[in-house]
Amino acid sequence: MPESRPVAQEPLRTPDRASSDEAATVRRAQLGSTSAFDSLVRKRGPDLYRYLLIRLGNESDARDALQETIIDAWTGLPNLRAPESCWPWLITIARRKAQATTQRKRPRVLDFDPDLLPHADESALEAWDAIVRLRPIHREILFLRYIIGLSEKEAADFLGIRVGAVKTRSLVARRELEGVLRASS
Amino acid sequence: MHRHSDDDRYVDDALESLWRSLPTPTADELQGIADVARRHPRSIARRRTHGWSRAVPASAVAITLLVGSALGFGLGSAVTPSGTAADTPVGLGFLPEPGWDVLQTGADTTRGQPVIAIASNRAFAPNDADRGMRNTSGLPYSTLLALPTNGIVVVASFMASGPPSSRSDFYPPRELPLSLGDAAPWTAFGAEVRPERPLGQYLLRASVYGYHVDLQIYFGTPRPSRDMIEAAQRQVDRLSVTPQQQAAPVYSRAFPLRLSHVRATEASLIFDRTLVCSTTYVGGVYSIEAAGHRGTGRVAGAWSRPPFATVRTGAGASGGPENLSILDNSLAWITAGRPSAGATLVEQSVLSDLYRTQLWGTLAINTDLCKNSKKRVNLAPRRLRGGPLGPLEQSSKCFAPQHVLMRVRAVLSGPTVLRRFRDFARTTAPVREATLVIQTTAGEQLAYTQVFESGEARLLTARNCVPS
């Protein structure tokens, strides 16, 4: 006679999970939670919009690109394998949308447009003026590293360059920006 | 890492000042953007309409499995052989974790058609994955028999929940991701899959986005380690349940079986239709069951128990009318004569009153399992055995192929059209006489049954069928 033992009788003990964690929100959105997705859009939408605004230089294009970014995020979320990498992933989508927009239109230099900053103070306007004078690769690395908050590794993945190149480019960009700011003040 | 000198702070402040001064969309605008995005379909797993195949982590494979669960019963059902919409996104199932295999159905769930998804951190046994069967009991039996100690199998079944009913009490509302902490030790009917080397068997039930979800978790050991539980939880975290659209109940909405044939102006005294139907794979075989009884209790020309015949497939089930029911496995049923107001189609159940003939229909075709066919089915019985039916139900079970041809011919008491009721097209008009024939696509008859308004009924089945 085979030995017959009772099956497990104890409830399963699962690890604690912080519900406030963005990865958990992303995971729920991946699984179809509309409220989680809305929450994600509310949290990350403003920064995505700012990024697009700086990349594209006008509100109309930025708004369109944001909508397209969020659509892609919704449809692509189930395929995102690392929920904790959602923010770099979103920025990557936004960047792709911005590139598509600029390719559709005639490429242009990002001009200083005070209308974009209706509530800007003096220092913000100076910073804007300085930023647009930077070379695009320096402008971008500054945004990615010091405003959007990507790590060196994430920025390297995002730009398709080595981590060492990110470090170098960041350093040079900061020096360049600092120089422009000091010169203008 | 950059240096935090005064120069650095100067640059950081400038950047932050710029960032903060940039305008952003309002909360309402962001909500509008999210709403627009959510109207777009998501690509989760692609629907497959034919056959099983192995899934690799990068691509979930669609299969069609059948399991109902009513009060803990495993129930086989069948699948519509639609062959359409192969690229339609499927929103019910698992997104596989790295190292996990997933098998899942591509069919839409209905009250009689559960969707099943199975995930395992071990390769599926060929019996479970490669037999080319679209229907199964939903128990990956061979895989479980060979499951190593650190193996995990998670089976999820989804049923459209429908309006609230007593069954809903078994499925408490839960949020995704489901937590295994809510799972309870469970064995169906006290039956262990592998008594000689017991598995850890757990059940978690939830009501999620309009679905009743049964999550059965099998561990290769009765006492799974913390790592195993966490691994299972990670896979359960990737359970996807796309919200079911809030549509009007379909079972009370009238619509024709085929527009060109059943417009009111084309209502006919004669109903004659040939269909191809899916059968259900249960216990290792596809099978049908033909059953019926003669009429009894005729008062003032109305039968309290009209002559009745049906052909069903899969296991029986119990449940309220809003859920999986005793009749949902029927490919078709026929009655004859005028039913009384209290006549029912099912009487052995305590719920028989729910199956009133005037509600469920005097003649019905399962439109979920059957589709119109242009094949020919002879109405004369050939090489069958059987005879008149008695007052008690008699039934006979037959092995069947995955698809069978069914012809239903009925003479009705007045011009009528079939109307939608649950997964059936049915009429409530009295039937004078009706014939129901089942045969294989190769032409071999399996069952032949007739009912007459006089109360008589007869059933003939193939020689390899057995009384059940």
Note the CATH architecture for domain A117-185: Orthogonal Bundle (1.10)
What are the tens digits of pLDDT across the range B32-75?
Answer: 888 888 777 654 333 332 223 333 333 333 332 222 222 222 22
Environment class of residue A183 by beta-carbon count within 10 Å: exposed (0-12), middle (13-18) or buried (19+)? exposed
pLDDT of res. A33: 75
Nearest C-alpha in B relative to A171:
B2
Fold of A22-109: Rna Polymerase Sigma Factor; Chain: A (1.10.1740)
Model confidence band, residue B164 (pLDDT cutoffs 50, 70, 90): low
- A38: nearest CB among B31, B187, B243: B31
Among the ranges given (B80-89, B199-208, B274-283, B421-430), the one the predictor scored with the smallest mean pLDDT: B80-89
**Separation between Cα atoms, residue B124 and residue B143, nearest integer Å:** 6
- CA distance linking residue B103 with residue B135, whole number of Å: 12
d(CA A22, CA A43): 9
Query: Which among B93, B396, B64 is positioned nearest to B242, based on CA atoms?
Result: B93
Smallest CA–CA separation between B281 and chain A, in Å?
28
- What are the sequence ranges of the domains in chain A? 22-109, 117-185
Burial class for A63, CB neighbours closer than 10 Å (0-12, 13-18, 19+):
middle
The pTM for the full model equals 0.40
Average pLDDT, chain B: 73
Do the Cβ atoms of A62 and A95 come closer than 8 Å? no
pLDDT at A10 over 70: no
| A contacts of B22 (beta carbons < 8 Å) | 49-50, 53-54, 116-117
* Percentage above 90 pLDDT, chain A: 18
Of B27, B43, B195, the CB nearest to A4: B195
- At residue A127, the pLDDT reads 78
Q: What is the ipTM of this complex?
A: 0.77
- pLDDT digit string (tens) for B150-159? 999 998 888 8
Contact A7 B18 (CB under 8 A): no
Q: Measured between CB atoms, which of A67, A78, A126 is closest to B33? A: A67
Interval A14-59: pLDDT, tens: 444 433 478 888 887 777 677 888 889 999 999 899 888 888 877 8
